[in-house]
Structure 1
Amino acid sequence: MFKPNANPFPVLEEQSELRRLTQRPQRHRLLHGYPLAAAMPRVEPGDRSSQGLLHFQPDRGLLVGVLPHPFCNPTVTGCGFCTFPHETFNRGGAVGVMDHVVKELEQKREADPSLAGRPVAGLYFGGGTANLSPADSFRTLCRALANTFDLSTAEVTLEGVPAAFLNRTPLLADILREELPARHFRLSMGIQTFDEARLQQMGRLGFGTATTFRDVVRLGHARGFTVSGDLLFNLPGQPLTVMRDDIGQAIELGLDHLGLYHLVMFAGLGTEWSRDPALVASLPTNPVAAQHWLELRSLLHEQGFYQTTLTNFERREFLGQDRRFVYEERSFQPDRYDMIGLGPTGISFAGSGQTAVKVINPDSASAYVEAVNQGGAACWNRAFTYAPRDLRVLHLTRSLSALRIDRPRYQGFFGTDPRDDFPREFAALEQEGLILVSDGAIEPTCLGMFYADSIAALLSWKQVLGLRNQHSAVGSPTASHANSNSRSHM
């Protein structure tokens, strides 16, 4: 994939690191933002010294992400591939956690009265299984959110497993409309694949098949919602013909929005599938996987979809319309939007000029409940304050997720040009054909989109090494450093 070094700029160290990175598994950690949890210093939940870290400025936009609970119920742990924190579903546990999500919201409102009536641009019920929430608890949570924020201009998304959109009484989609006075509603379901043998391998047949997926689209459209679905590609031993067929069937369903994710799997990752040497051995190499990405991306463009972010595509008729998916797009603008994250693993971010803070709540249900019960607004257990260089890395990696680093916008915010701030890194990336540089922007090439994890890792490389030396942080305890890119990634 690499071109000879025709540029005399001395970037051999950066090129060597980049080539190391592109030979490793390409992950989706870029979507979580710099720095990742592994690079963030720990704090004790309720630590009074961290209570005042977050200040949400009224002149900035606001997004709210809610993870109602961490529970799921596939017949194969984590569907074989999932790296999200998850626990075995039980209704009582979900009710208990959701009661504490409401309590966390109340604590934040008491600590910062300016949040009351604050306009919200996007509200996202996520975590992969939000629609497994018990209906009464979900209604209570929706009411608490509606009583706290101004949702009149908000886009609201409910994420979940397909069958749970259909087999609940009452339907959570109807609770959304009844309780939230929002501008627009969306449903987002994890399809993964239409191949029933593969769904069985994932333990997801109980979550639905093609008929279920179609019924979710019809349910959403009948209520005026837009509907999105997520697909995985580059599954173990999966032929390109099956990947193309999955996309064809997804389009035929009438989905408005499609998320396309390359499978992340390698020995030592800690997922069920990653423990099976035969499955790991049947994964495509990075060059082959990248070629699959290029072909599938082209197919979506041919079928009337346009790309909005690294992993997301929408039908062309939504281009420039207010019904397009905006939550993710705006989450990639840390110079304009803050984030309140509620629930287990909730991520909050607050910026002010040339400073910003990011905090993350505990992952497990029990640790989260304990943290909320300690009282106060600070139930997080990881916190990071951005230095000027960190904020530049954040801006670049967030913009990369949105496919375009706007050079005049960056210069207007920081007073410098990104190529002046990261000259060696951008020179190496350009020489290797992973970015295109113009007077107005720095953009990933189509190949660079597949290797975006490596691009972000190179931009944050030296900064993360410094953070890890400072905080003695390490990568995921279940991941092999030889395979994971964790050494230098965000």
Structure 2
Amino acid sequence: MLLQPESSSGVVFDTRFFNTPSQELTKLLQHRMSKPQRHRLLHGFPLAAAMPFASDDVRKLSDANDECFALRHHPDRELLVGVLPHSFCNPKIAGCGFCTFPHEDFSSLKASAVVNGVIREIDARMASAPHLRQRSIAGLYFGGGTANLSPAIPFRNLCRKLNEAFDLSDAEVTMEGVPAYFLNRKPLLLDILSEELAARCFRISMGVQTFSQTRLEQMGRLAFGGPEVFADVVENAHARGMTASADLLFNLPGQSLSEMKDDVSQAVNLGLDQICLYHLVLFRGMAAPWARNAKLLASLPDNETSAQNWEALREQLLAQGYRQTTLTNFERCDLQHNPRRYQYELMSFQPDRFDVLGFGPSGISCSEQTPGSSALKTMNPESAVEYLQAVQRGGTVWNRYYEFSSSDLKLLHTTRQLSALQINRRRYQNALGSDVVHDYAQELETLARHRLLNVTDAAVSLTTRGMFYADSVAAVLAHRQLGRGRNKLASQRVHANDNSGGHM
């Protein structure tokens, strides 16, 4: 590896990734396509792990309302709100065997304390940014560890606080969770949502993963419900006028294509409004129990087989009356022009229109600071203890941040829009003042040559194959950002925590 000396920001970088010739991009792409395909394009730029920790100096500047670290949330931009009520979950097997999202063992007392902390955070944000009070919200999303595991009384208080803080009359409200808890926790959180939030429409999103009892047991998810519970959840939601979505995994260890297709058929038969397909991300070295099981790892399909499975399942859903709206989401065709269609995810893929305001553990906020040239992204502490300490301390809650330059914003727009399957070239031009095909000429040429993208006068679109290899697409698009340290205060003062080189 050809390394330069440390740059002035303290970052060591590989010179091959600057002005990279097409053949080097091809090598990079082929290398990435040979590796496990993760869901980094969906997670957004930069990944949480690539956001440096805030130094003491940065925190002081933020507490003093320094304009560089104030999330502006301009009133002429639309606003999404994401709430992580707590960071807890309770599967029988840690992470259900495969999940690496931050979560902690459930305790009702601890969960109540964190939900109350979120209420305090909202109060503090309204006090420090009164221009946000009663802002119209386009979408409100309850996610996190297992959002529908929230204790009822604190959750009701949280809903009341959100209803007091924002104008939700035009908002789509989503609650995420595991199937059984939509049914067996009294009072039902679904009823609390509709009783306390004056919103336009409501939807639920549940993690089904598979209909196989054997595989659910292997995941430690039997207590979360099986096919009968899944059906009851959908019926329950529809009876309340809510839409229902479910996540399905495919390419599980030893899973045949016929088993995958059977899972999809059963999901369709439930009458789900949306079905989200995620291929399993599992490889040696992951912080998950299954990643330490050599037999499970050996029974995973290779990438080319996995890609073929994806194409088959996609065609199955399209043939059964669903249309693809994002990399992973399929929605019933009859909802296409219905105001109850799922919009939060699509809105989050439009950084030219929407800012995001996040509350709770791991809550992410992102705001355009100067149109087309700068933005700020922040993230709250992940653990319940650290989050509550930050809330109780007062002042700035977030402990990670990323300052976007104009070139960073181009990558943000490119990767966000591709998550919605295509980049509209005129829209990109209007937002950033340049043509995406000019900005990423070599990258797009390389990706198109490998049948991962189509480029036309109007748009840059992922092919079906490119959808599966979206992680590799993201790596090629982000290669110029590798080693280019932003957040100068952080990189100069806290080198050990500066992870800005790991953008995607």
- Give 1:1-20 correspondences, 5 Å limit: 11-20=22-31
Alignment gaps of 5+ in structure 2: 1-19
Aligned to 2:403: 385
Q: Deviations over 1:288-333 (max 9, x none)?
A: 0000000000000000000000000000001122111000000001
Q: Deviations over 1:99-141 (max 9, x none)?
A: 1000111111111001111000000000251000000010000
Counterpart residue type for residue 50 of structure 1: S
Q: Deviations over 1:399-456 (max 9, x none)?
A: 0000010101111111111111111111111111100000000000000000111111
Counterpart residue type for residue 270 of structure 2: L
What is the rounded CA distance, in whole Å, between the counterparts of 2:50 and 2:229 in structure 1?
40
1:363 aligns with 2:371: no
Q: Deviations over 1:440-480 (max 9, x none)?
A: 0000000000011111111111203323998467999xxxx
Counterpart residue type for residue 374 of structure 1: R
Aligned partners of 1:74 and 1:203 also within 8 Å: yes
What is the rounded CA distance, in whole Å, between the counterparts of 2:469 and 2:266 in structure 1?
27
Picking from 38, 41, 52, the partner of 2:52 is 41
What is the rounded CA distance, in whole Å, between the counterparts of 1:140 and 1:469 in structure 2?
37
Q: Residues 189, 324 of structure 1: CA spacing in aligned structure 2 closer, same or farther, 3 A cutoff?
A: same
- Give 1:214-233 correspondences, 5 Å limit: 214-233=231-250
Counterpart residue type for residue 448 of structure 1: G
Aligned partners of 2:88 and 2:145 also within 8 Å: no
Picking from 345, 352, 359, the partner of 1:328 is 345
Counterpart residue type for residue 38 of structure 2: R
What is the rounded CA distance, in whole Å, between the counterparts of 2:106 and 2:193 in structure 1?
22
What is the rounded CA distance, in whole Å, between the counterparts of 1:158 and 1:85 in structure 2?
18
Picking from 429, 432, 452, the partner of 1:414 is 432
Q: Residues 475, 428 of structure 1: CA spacing in aligned structure 2 closer, same or farther, 3 A cutoff?
A: farther
What is the rounded CA distance, in whole Å, between the counterparts of 2:487 and 2:433 in structure 1?
29
Aligned to 1:404: 422
- Give 1:408-487 correspondences, 5 Å limit: 408-467=426-485, 471=491
Aligned partners of 2:261 and 2:313 also within 8 Å: yes
What is the rounded CA distance, in whole Å, between the counterparts of 1:15 and 1:82 in structure 2?
31
1:278 aligns with 2:295: yes
What is the rounded CA distance, in whole Å, between the counterparts of 2:401 and 2:156 in structure 1?
31
What is the rounded CA distance, in whole Å, between the counterparts of 2:287 and 2:300 in structure 1?
16
Aligned to 2:170: 153
**Greater alpha carbon shift after TM alignment, 441-450 vs 413-422:** 413-422
The CA deviation at 1:79 is 0.4
Indicate the SS of the match to 2:376.
strand
TM-score between both structures, scaled by the size of structure 2? 0.91
- Give 1:13-162 correspondences, 5 Å limit: 13-44=24-55, 47-51=59-63, 52=65, 53=69, 54-162=71-179
Q: Deviations over 1:2-30 (max 9, x none)?
A: xxxxxxx9510111101111111111122
1:212 aligns with 2:212: no
What is the rounded CA distance, in whole Å, between the counterparts of 2:342 and 2:275 in structure 1?
11
What is the rounded CA distance, in whole Å, between the counterparts of 1:206 and 1:44 in structure 2?
43
**Greater alpha carbon shift after TM alignment, 46-55 vs 91-100:** 46-55
What is the rounded CA distance, in whole Å, between the counterparts of 1:321 and 1:446 in structure 2?
26
Alignment gaps of 5+ in structure 1: 1-8, 477-485
Q: Alignment length, in residue pairs?
A: 472
Aligned partners of 2:40 and 2:474 also within 8 Å: no
Aligned partners of 2:403 and 2:487 also within 8 Å: no
Aligned partners of 2:136 and 2:166 also within 8 Å: yes
Counterpart residue type for residue 11 of structure 1: S
Q: Residues 488, 374 of structure 1: CA spacing in aligned structure 2 closer, same or farther, 3 A cutoff?
A: closer
Counterpart residue type for residue 49 of structure 1: L
What is the rounded CA distance, in whole Å, between the counterparts of 1:110 and 1:403 in structure 2?
39
What is the rounded CA distance, in whole Å, between the counterparts of 2:133 and 2:430 in structure 1?
31
The CA deviation at 1:383 is 0.6
Q: Deviations over 1:207-252 (max 9, x none)?
A: 0000000000010000000000000000011111110000000000
Q: Deviations over 1:242-291 (max 9, x none)?
A: 10000000000110001100100000011010011111111110000000
TM-score between both structures, scaled by the size of structure 1? 0.94
Aligned partners of 1:139 and 1:175 also within 8 Å: yes
Aligned to 2:12: none
What is the rounded CA distance, in whole Å, between the counterparts of 1:254 and 1:299 in structure 2?
15
Aligned partners of 1:462 and 1:488 also within 8 Å: no
What is the rounded CA distance, in whole Å, between the counterparts of 1:30 and 1:474 in structure 2?
23
Counterpart residue type for residue 324 of structure 1: R
The CA deviation at 1:488 is 6.0
Counterpart residue type for residue 51 of structure 2: M
Counterpart residue type for residue 411 of structure 1: Q
Counterpart residue type for residue 162 of structure 2: L
Q: Residues 323, 59 of structure 1: CA spacing in aligned structure 2 closer, same or farther, 3 A cutoff?
A: same
Q: Deviations over 1:150-187 (max 9, x none)?
A: 00000000110100000011100000000000000001
